[in-house]
Chains A and B, each alone.
Chain A
Amino acid sequence: MDTILSIRNIVKVYPNGVVANKGISFDIEKNTIHALVGENGAGKTTLMKILFGIETPQEGEIIYKGKKVHFKSPLDAIKNGIGMVHQHLMLAPDLTVAENLTLGIEPRKWKIFLDTDKMNEIAKRVSKEFGLEVPFDKRVKDLPIGVRQRVEILKALLRNVELLILDEPTAVLTPQESDMLFKTLKDLKKHGKTIIFISHKLKEVKQIADRVTVIRDGKVIATKDASELTEHQIAELMVGREIKSERIAPSPKVGEPLLEVENLDYINEENIPVLKSVSFKVRSGEILGVAGVEGNGQTELVEILTGLRRLTSGKVIINGKDMAGKTPREIRENGVSHIPEDRMKNGVAEAATIKENLIVDRYYKKPFSKGILLDWKYITNYGKKLIKDFNVLATSPDALVSSLSGGNIQKVVVARELSSNPSVIVADQPIRGIDVGSEELVHRLLKEARDKGSAVFLVSADLDEVLELSTRIIVLYNGEIVARFDDVGGLTGKDLGPYMLGVKREE
C-alpha cells in the first residue's frame, strides 16, 4: 500500500518548557483507518496540532504524498487535503448548519454578498454524496451532539479532505451515536479517504482501526496492524506495564448515612428539568458510584451538593443537617470536600502558588491565620508537608500551579480536599486527564478515606473506574436514577449499558 503521510522525528517544546513530543516518527498508509492511542498527556493532540498547522515543531519533518510539507496554518493543511474533527466541536452555535459548513469558502453574489441559495445547495450536495443527513437551516445550538459531529465531518468533506483526523470523537457520544459514527467512517474509507482516529477507548480501536500507533510520554512505542494486537496488549503498551482490572477490597465497616438526598429537582435557566426527584444515600465507609453518559445531570447534581448551584426543590441532608441552598463554605464547614470535574476552572488558581491553592478552604481558620493576619510561616510548612504526603512533584510550595503537569495539579487538588478530614467526599471525574501513576494514587487515597469512615460520592464517565471503586452504583439517565445496584459483585459494563442509554429502566 502507498504511504500517504510520513511523520519524521517531530520534537515540540512549548513556551512553558513542557516537551510534548520527543522525536515522533511513523507512517500512515493511504485508505486506512489508523488509530493513534495513548494516555492523556502522551502527546497525541500536540502531534495532531502540528500536523494540522496549529503548532510548529522545533525539529522534524512531515512528508505528505511524497512531498515535504510545512503547514503554517489550518488553512494550509485544509488546502492540502488534511482535515480535523476536534474533540470540542468547532462550530459557531448561532449560525445555521449551512453557514457553518460553508464558512471560509462562502459562495458569493456580486463578489461581496453571500449567496444563500448556493450555500444550501452546496451543503445538500455533499451531504447526499456521503449519505450524512443534517438539517441545513437549523442553528447548530439547537441540534443534538451526534448531529453536530456529523456537521463537523461534512465540513471537512466539503473541503475535499483526503486525510481526516478525528480527535477522540466518541468522548461526547452515546454508544448508538458512536456506532453511527463508525459506520460513517467505514463508508468514508470506501470513498477512498484516509482516517486518523485518536482514542483511548481500546474497544473502539479494535473495532474499526486497520493500524495502530501507540504513543507514550511523547515517543512512539509501536506501530502495528490492529489485528496483531489484543486490547490488553495495546493497553500494556500505552501505560508501559501490566494493568489490573480488579475491584478494590470492600469496605471494612459501613456505618450511618452521611449524605442523604431526597426528591431533588432541578430546573435550569432554559426551563429544562435537569434532575427529577433524585433520591439516594451514601453511608460512612462506602463509595457510591454514579454511572451514566456525560450530560445526564451529573455536573448539576455535583454542583448542587457542593453549593455551587441552587436546587429547585428537595432535601440535601449532610451529617444530619439539611444543606440545600447553603453556601459552599457552609457546606464545606459541615464536612464536605469536593474534587471538581474541571480542575482548571474550579480546582485551582493557576497563577497562584501551590500553598495559596492548598489553603483556599481553610485560610480563615486557626492556625492558618490569627485574627485578620495569615500565618505564612505556618502555611509554608504546611504546604511542604502536603507536597510530601501527596507526592506532588514540585520544587517548593511557592512554585506556581501553572508550572505543574496535569497529574500534579490534580494531586494538589486532592491533597487539599482529602487533608481536611472530610466526612463526605464528592469526587467528580477524579482521574480525568492524568497519568497512570497519579491515577493510582488518587484511587488509593479515595479508598483510604472510605476505610477511615468517609462517605464517597463518585461520579465518573469512565465505567471501569466506577466498577473498580464503587460499593454501590446508581445509574443516572436524563436526570433520573434509572437503576440501583446494591451488589456490584460480578457487575460489568454490559449490565449497566442499557440503563445508561435509556433502553432499560428499573420500575
Chain B
Amino acid sequence: MNPLLKSIFSANFVFATLRVTTPILFAAIGVAITALSGSINIALEGIMLIAAFVGVIVSAFTGSLWLALIFGVLAAVGLAALLGYFHLNLKADIIIAAIALNMFASGITVFLTYIFAHDKGTTSSLKSLVFPSYQIPILKDIPVLGKMFSGLNVLTYFALICVVIFYYLIYKTPLGLRIRAVGQNPDAAESVGVDVKKVKMYSLLLSGFFGAFGGLYLSMGYVSWFSRDMTAGRGFIAIAAASIGGNLPIGTFFGSLLFGVVNTLAIFLATLKVPSELIQMIPYITTVLVLAIYAIQKSAKSRGEE
C-alpha cells in the first residue's frame, strides 16, 4: 500500500487527529456558546493566546500546574470580560473590539515575554510544566483502540467532556435556556426580566473559560513553552468549525473534528516530499471550501427571496 495511505489508516492517525482537534474544539465551543447568545466572538485567538502565555509564566515561576491552570483560565476569562464590557456596556462593535483585543493579546504577550524571558520569540528559556497524558485503564490494553484513544493529554479528554458539559449547559440548565432565549429574541428575554446584558456577558465569560483550555493545551500540552502568536489562526478556524456545526454541541464537535482531520492530514503529508508551505495551506483552503459548500447547499434549499 502507498505509504501515505498506510499512515492515514493507522491508529496513529486517529491519535494525532484527537491531539490536533483539541485546541480547535475548545475554541469552537467558546465560539458556539457566544453565537447561541446572539454574538459573534472572533476574540478566541486572543483569549487562547493570553491563557497560553499566562499558564507558562505562572507554571515557570510557581512550579504549580494548578496555579498555572487557574491563572490561565482567569486571564482568558478576564479578556473575554473586557470584550463583554466594551461590547455590552460601552456599545463597541463586537468584531472590531475583538480585533483590538486580539491585537492587545498579541502585543502584551510578546511585550511580557520580553520582560520575563528577555526574548521576543519564545519563553523557551523558562521551564514550563506540561499537562500530563493519561492511560485509560482497560482501554489501553485493547490493541488498536488503545493506541487510538488511550494515552492522550488530559486536556484532550477534558475537551471531549466539555462537549457534554456544553450540551447539558445549553439544554438542561436555566442559564442555557436564557442564553438560547437571548440569542433568539433578546427583547423577549428582557420582557420577562432576564438581564440580557448579563446573559450575554455570561456566555462570553464561558467562551473565555473554554477557550482558556485551548490556549493552555497549546503551550503546556502540545509543547512546553509559549511562542509569539502561537495560536496561528485556530481561534478563527474555530468560528468556521462552530458555524458548520450550527453552533450546537454535537455539530460543533464534528465541525472541529473535520478541521482536526485536515490538519493531521497536512502533518502526515509533510513526511512526503511536498513543500511544507503548500501543505500548511490545506486546512485554511478546506475551511473556505467547507464554508462555501455549506453555504451553497443552504442557498440551494432556499429560493425566492434575494
Contacts and interface: CB of A to CB of B under 8 A. Distances in A.
Chains A and B touch each other in the complex, with CB atoms below 8 Å apart:
yes
Contacts of B195: 73, 75
Contacts of A74: 190-193
B305 interface: yes
B181 interface: yes
Interface string B114-139: 00000000000000000000000000
A486 interface: no
Contacts of A94: 180, 184
A104 B189 contact: yes
A92 B182 CA distance: 8
Contact of B192 (A93, A103, A114, A266): A103
Interface in A67-126: 73-75, 78-79, 84, 86, 88-95, 99-100, 103-106, 108, 112-114
B188 interface: yes
A310 interface: yes
A391 interface: no
Contacts of A112: 173-174
A100 B188 contact: yes
A93 B185 contact: yes
Nearest to A104: B192
B161 interface: no
A95 B180 contact: yes
Contacts of A86: 187, 191
Contact of B173 (A104, A114, A155): A114
Contact of A268 (B185, B188, B189, B304): B304
A103 B303 contact: no
Contacts of B187: 86, 88, 90
A78 B180 contact: no
B190 A91 contact: no
Interface in A141-184: 155, 159
Interface in A464-494: none
Interface string B187-211: 1111111110000000000000000
Contacts of B193: 73-75, 78-79, 104
B199 to A, nearest CB: 10
Nearest to B182: A92
B183 to A, nearest CB: 8
Nearest to A88: B187
A86 B181 CA distance: 17
A507 interface: no
Interface in B276-306: 302-306
A81 B143 CA distance: 66
Contacts of B189: 92, 103-104
Contacts of A104: 178, 189, 192-194
A92 B189 CA distance: 8
Contacts of A155: 191-192
Contacts of A268: 304-305
Contacts of A310: 303-305
A286 B253 CA distance: 61
Contacts of B177: 95, 99, 103, 106, 114
B172 interface: yes
A255 B140 CA distance: 88
Q: A-side binding surface: helix, strand, loop or mixed?
A: loop
B306 to A, nearest CB: 8
A269 interface: yes
A113 B305 contact: no
A269 B174 contact: no
Most B-side CB within 10 Å, residue of A74, A103, A310: A103
Q: B-side binding surface: helix, strand, loop or mixed?
A: helix
Interface residues of A, number: 35
Given A92-B180, A269-B302, A269-B305, A159 B173 contact: no
A195 B176 CA distance: 33
A309 interface: yes
A269 B305 CA distance: 8
A99 B193 CA distance: 14
Given A269-B303, A269-B305, A91 B188 contact: yes
A106 B174 contact: yes
A161 to B, nearest CB: 11
Given A78-B192, A78-B193, A103-B189, A92 B302 contact: no
Given A90-B187, A104-B189, A113 B194 contact: no
A499 to B, nearest CB: 27
Given A74-B191, A108-B174, A155-B192, A266 B304 contact: yes
Contact of A92 (B168, B185, B303): B185
A137 to B, nearest CB: 15
Interface in A374-405: none
B173 A92 contact: no
Contacts of A159: 192
Contacts of A90: 185, 187-188, 190-192
Interface string B1-33: 000000000000000000000000000000000
Interface string B27-41: 000000000000000
B192 A95 contact: no
B304 A114 contact: no
A278 to B, nearest CB: 16
A228 to B, nearest CB: 34
B91 to A, nearest CB: 12
B181 A95 contact: yes
A73 B174 CA distance: 20
Contacts of A114: 172-174, 176-177
Contacts of A54: 190
A146 to B, nearest CB: 18
B175 to A, nearest CB: 8
B194 A103 contact: yes
A282 B195 CA distance: 52
B184 A103 contact: no
Nearest to B184: A92
A51 to B, nearest CB: 13
A232 B174 CA distance: 50
B284 to A, nearest CB: 32
Contacts of A105: 192
Nearest to B305: A309
A143 to B, nearest CB: 14
Contacts of B192: 74, 78, 90, 103-105, 155, 159
Nearest to A77: B193
Contact of B184 (A95, A309, A312): A95
A273 to B, nearest CB: 12
Nearest to B302: A269
A61 B303 CA distance: 53
A105 B306 CA distance: 40
A86 B302 CA distance: 31
Given A100-B188, A269-B304, 15 more contacts: A74-B192, A78-B192, A86-B187, A90-B185, A91-B185, A91-B188, A95-B180, A99-B181, A104-B193, A105-B192, A159-B192, A268-B305, A269-B303, A309-B304, A310-B304
Which 9 A-B pairs give the minimum distances between C-beta atoms? Answer: A75-B193, A90-B191, A90-B188, A104-B192, A92-B184, A106-B174, A92-B181, A269-B302, A92-B185
16 contacts: A54-B190, A78-B192, A86-B191, A89-B188, A94-B180, A94-B184, A95-B180, A95-B181, A106-B174, A114-B172, A114-B176, A114-B177, A155-B191, A269-B304, A269-B305, A310-B305
